[in-house]
Amino acid sequence: MSDRPILLVEDSPDDVLLTRRAFKKNHIRNAIVVASDGAEALAHLLPEDGSEGLHPALVLLDVKLPKVDGLEVLRRIRDDERTCHLPVVVLTTSNEERDIVTSYRLGANSFVRKPVVFEEFVAAVNALGVYWLLIPAGAR
């Protein structure tokens, strides 16, 4: 299992809390770094001075974010050699088909709609954790 942190890009404090609880319930112990908007996420990942930024094991990215929306964050992640290979899972409440299509077109590794029921969310987080944090990259 990777011991690198998970970058959670989420502007809803309630969803941050639920995500933390779901990871704890699934015994996923990676530190969670939270960026509450797209600009903050980019500052973590792509420092303006060109240096190496945060290199998380996984980026969980909401689509609808203040300052810089999630799809633009995804585009910038994929366009930069420092971050182009990071696993990015779009984790959002969006039901819009265009968000799904655009996410995959921009290089998202996966698109997951946030379940409304907490137990379903825990199960979704467990699946994400197993796949992205436990299974070696070469086996995916």
Sketch the domain layout of the chain as residue ranges: 6-139
Q: Are residues 11 and 36 in contact, defined by beta-carbon separation less than 8 angstroms? A: yes
Residue 1 pLDDT grade (very low, low, confident, very high; cuts 50, 70, 90): low
Global pTM?
Answer: 0.89
Residue of higher predicted confidence among 4 and 74: 74
- Ramachandran area for residue 50 (φ above 0: left; ψ -120 to 50: alpha; else beta): left
pLDDT in tens, 79-135: 999 999 999 999 888 788 999 999 999 999 999 888 777 788 888 887 877 777 765
Residue 31 pLDDT grade (very low, low, confident, very high; cuts 50, 70, 90): very high
Task: Please tell me the CATH code under which domain 6-139 is placed.
Answer: 3.40.50.2300
Q: Are residues 88 and 61 in contact, defined by beta-carbon separation less than 8 angstroms? A: yes
CA 62 to chain centre: 7
Q: Are residues 121 and 91 in contact, defined by beta-carbon separation less than 8 angstroms? A: no
